[in-house]
A = this chain, B = another copy of it.
Amino acid sequence: MDGAILDMRLDRAYRDVFDPQEAEFLARIQGDVQVLGPRQRLVRANVPLKQSFYLTRGFIGRTRVDRAGRRQFLALQIPGDYVDLPAFVLHSLDHDLYSISEIAVRPVQHTDLTALRDSEPELFQKLWRISMIDAAIHRYWIYRIGRLSGRTRIANFFCEMLVRLHSRGLGGLHAFPLPLTQTDVAEVCGITAVHANRLIAELRAEGTCAFGNGEVAVSDPLALFRAGQFTWDYLYLPAEKDAELRAALGLGRGRC
């Protein structure tokens, strides 16, 4: 059953990026689905890798730990992400990958990617592009943590998840899944868990959004975007997705 759902997702997620033939090509080099429980290490730093993954279900986090053992999330991957394309060109990673919820992944052998490089250069370049969008998200996280206040950071992060999930058809504008703990959110936003708890309570009290039970509820998405000072230019959504989102939010041509 899993397989069927997941392939649908593949199609939907990238319909605008890959043409059907390319999607077929990619699906063919993906191995069988592997399921992993929550909070498991998927990839360990500094270990040579021979495969990358396509994430079909669940969330994966990239993390780095400081000397005192405090953890920072470096990125969050959602279903439909090609996790770990970096590993293909870098050979090993400098950080760990952990499942957050239960996940399902499909491995992609690096040798197959190399073959694809030579036979389908254009498709190969599209994979590069995907990895560069991840890099753009990294840069935005730097901005978020470096310049926004705690409250704004959290709201902003929720906005990113809303848009990314929505653009894959994995969440609505008024509610979307986010299987993280408050501690995880804190480690994404670079604040302490206690402080995150208070800020999340604030956001809930003022009706901006409610986070709990692995889900975010948003009564007024636009208000959330305002609270988070959010714009999604850095996500490089395909034009149609962008227009669709703007329309759904009741936005015109102007900036958010």
Contacts and interface: CB of A to CB of B under 8 A. Distances in A.
Interface of A: 45-46, 62, 64, 66-67, 70, 72, 74-75, 85-86, 89-90, 94-95, 117-118, 121-122, 124-125, 128-129, 131-136, 138-143, 145-148, 187, 189-190, 229, 233-234, 236
Contacts of A94: 136, 139-140, 233-234, 236
A129 B233 CA distance: 25
Scoring A117, A118, A139, A147 by chain B CB atoms within 10 A of each residue's CB, the highest score goes to A139
B233 A139 contact: no
B229 A136 contact: no
8 contacts: A64-B140, A66-B143, A67-B229, A118-B121, A124-B124, A135-B138, A138-B138, A142-B190
Q: How many copies, total?
A: 2
Contacts of A138: 135, 138-139, 141-142
**Chain A contact residues, majority secondary structure:** helix
Contacts of A46: 233
Which of A89, A117, A124, A187 has most chain B Cβ within 10 Å?
A89
B72 A147 contact: yes
